[in-house]
Chain A
Amino acid sequence: MQETLMMKHAVGGRIFIDSSKQTVEYVWEPSEAGWKFVVNTPMNGEIEELLRLKTEINVFVFQQVEGQPMKKIWFYVHEGPVTYDADQAQLTVYARSCIEYFPGDYLS
């Protein structure tokens, strides 16, 4: 299975993290409050913007299994928290809930 992590601005879709375009180490897992994402990334302009707009980010995981339609999972971050640890160069994002969908299920 191929997986992509993407974090975008919810207003218009500016991309802050796209693991298909840049090498990004990340893990995501269930947490007590919903879901937790930890991304190893140096501080840069995109991360600064993500943190500035942290209440308005869309987090996606795209999962592609060969021969099957792509599954998209969208995560509702709400109030996060969204934090950055400069010592660890780690971004941590908590999401409250998620919706799974297959784009092909909708007429577009």
Chain B
Amino acid sequence: MIEVYPAESRYTSDLGWLQSHLSFSFGEYYDAKNANFSVMRVCNDDFLVPNRGFGAHPHSDMEIVSVVLSGSIRHEDNLGHVAISSFGEVQRMSAGTGVIHTEHNPSSTEELNLLQMWFEPHTRGLEPSYQTSRFDPDQLQGRLLPIVSQQGAENVASIQQDLTIYLSKLAAGEQIAFDQSSSRKTYLFVIDGACSVNGKTLLPRDAARVEQESGLSIVADQDVFFMLIDLP
């Protein structure tokens, strides 16, 4: 079963300094029927104006992944981590028993666009941790490039959950297969361009929630940049 969620079906909040397109219930947007997909709880497509951000706030028992699409983000936390990440870099925070952090756009000129995703951890009450990783954008073309996984690896951030996040770029007409087990779920999000997933068309910022399918065929209807998440 493939359910397509068009970009315009997302809830949009606009605080002036922050525009967020919310794929799942978050903050003022609450829909009990759209609170999660598998262990995925949040997928916020955030745009932050220069020199603004989120003040100090806590998190707990959540795996938080930030993928920068453009601009840069500065993270600071009470564990002593300070990091600035831009496109090609990923921030992963295991909030566990509690982390206080800030996130903001450190640029005085450039807008920040990031995808921030929250996942339930496999175990609650973990020791908090934070990690940045860097992937090579040149390696995205024509393949599913893992950027986050449970086991982690060089250039792949590790996460306390049985999931893998991939990024991929396909040229128009190019096709790629993902061997999804029918017992797993897949979340697919088009960042730019357009593709078809088992015949279902996805346009920029559309998402597909896939379950009970064995095998996905992703065809680029035009040059496409997308994210695929393999979920339990």
- A residues contacting B by CB (< 8 A) are 10-14, 55-56, 58, 72, 74, 76, 78-79, 96-97, 99, 101, 103, 105-108
Contact = CB atoms under 8 A, between A and B. Distances in A.
A24 to B, nearest CB: 21
B55 interface: yes
B56 A78 contact: no
Contacts of B124: 55, 78-79
Interface string B142-185: 00000000000000000000000000000000000000000000
Nearest to B27: A12
B104 A12 contact: no
A3 to B, nearest CB: 18
Contacts of B104: 107-108
Interface in B116-144: 118, 124-125
B74 A74 contact: no
A106 B42 contact: no
Contacts of A96: 97
Interface stretch (B58-66, B107-115, B196-204, B222-230): B58-66
6 contacts: A13-B27, A58-B58, A58-B60, A72-B56, A101-B78, A106-B76
A97 B55 contact: no
B60 A103 contact: no
A78 B125 contact: yes
Contacts of A107: 74, 76, 102, 104
Contact of A11 (B41, B58, B78): B41
Interface residues on B, range: 20 to 34
Contacts of B27: 12-14
Nearest to B58: A74
A11 B55 contact: no
* 8 nearest A-B pairs in the assembled complex, by CB-CB distance: A12-B27, A12-B26, A108-B55, A74-B58, A103-B56, A108-B102, A106-B102, A106-B56
Contacts of A106: 55-56, 76, 100-102
Contact of A99 (B53, B55, B98): B98
A55 to B, nearest CB: 8
B56 A105 contact: yes
B55 A74 contact: no
Contacts of B101: 106
Given A74-B58, A106-B100, A107-B102, 5 more contacts: A10-B60, A55-B124, A76-B98, A101-B78, A108-B104
A101 B30 contact: no
B55 A76 contact: no
A12 B25 contact: yes
Interface string B55-90: 110111110000000000010101000000000000
A74 B100 contact: yes
Interface string B30-50: 100001000001100000000
A99 B100 contact: yes
A79 B58 CA distance: 17
B98 to A, nearest CB: 5
Interface in B1-54: 25-30, 35, 41-42, 53-54
Contacts of B61: 10, 56, 78
